[in-house]
Amino acid sequence: MQPRLPLRLTADRVAGLALIAFGALAIVESRGLPVGSLREPGPAYFPIVLSLALIGFGALLLAFSGGGAGLRELGWEEARHALLIVLGAAAAIFLLPRAGYVITIALLLFYLLAVVARRHWLLSILVSVGLAAGTFALFDMGLRVLLPRSPLGFF
């Protein structure tokens, strides 16, 4: 007797499962809100209808996704770079209200230029500081878009 092959993990199957999971999560999260009636639908009515639709679409995707590319076959060669950019951006967003705009953006740009894109460090410093200070001058001082200041009160 031949052993049963495990179900192949295709992109569409993963997407279908994710849609079902997200729809189910939205229904669970709606439990504290009134559903209301047909005459007077409550705040949970529309989200629940949408969640059920999302679960339905996920199930259809699962049901009709026989073939399609496997998850590993999609080609993830850029994923490491993408992760580095996401980590850098996340650190910058965390720092932005704490260290101020100019310091945070200069650090982010230096990291992306020198570490991720591997540009020359001196040029990276010049570009980072120039862009951070230039955009601060244009947006904050020129257009009066209030950008976060450093704890020292400037920049």
Partner 1 sequence: MLDVLQNLGDGFAVALSPGVLLYAFIGCLVGTLVGVLPGIGPLAGISLLLPATFGLDATRAVVMLAGIYYGAMYGGSTTSILMRIPGEAASVMTCIDGYAMARKGRAGPALTIAAIGSYIAGTASVVALMLLAPPLAGFALRFGPPEQFALLVLGLLVLAYMSVGSMLKSLAMATLGLLLGTIGIDHMSGYQRYGYGLHELGDGIGVVPLAVGLFGLGEILATAGRAKPPEVIHPRFRDLLPDRREMREAAAPVARGTILGFLVGIIPGSAHIIATFVSYAVEKKLSKKPEEFGKGAIAGVAGPESANNAATSGAFVPMLALGIPSGPVTAVLIAAMMVHGVQPGPLMMTQQPTLFWGFIASMYVGNLMLLILNLPLVGLFVQVLRIPYGYLFPAIVMFCILGVYAASGSIVDVWIMLIMGVLGYVLRKLDFETAPIVLGLILSPLIELAMRQSLSMSNGSYTIFLEKPIAATLLAAALVLLILGLLPLVRGVADWRARLAAADGDAESK
Judged by the rule CB under 8 A, the positions of this chain that interact with partner 1 are 11-12, 14-15, 19, 22, 26, 29-30, 33-34, 37-47, 50-51, 53-54, 57-58, 60-61, 64, 74, 76-82, 84-86, 88-90, 92-93, 96-97, 105, 108-109, 112-113, 116-119, 127, 131-132, 135, 139, 143-148
The CB-of-17 to partner 1 minimum distance in angstroms stands at 11
- Burial class of 73 by CB neighbour count within 10 A (0 to 12, 13 to 18, 19+): exposed
What angle, rounded to 10 degrees, do the helices at 101-110 and 79-99 form?
160
Cβ atoms of residues 66 and 16 within 8 Å: no
Task: Kindly state the smallest distance separating residue 5's Cβ from partner 1, in Å.
Answer: 22
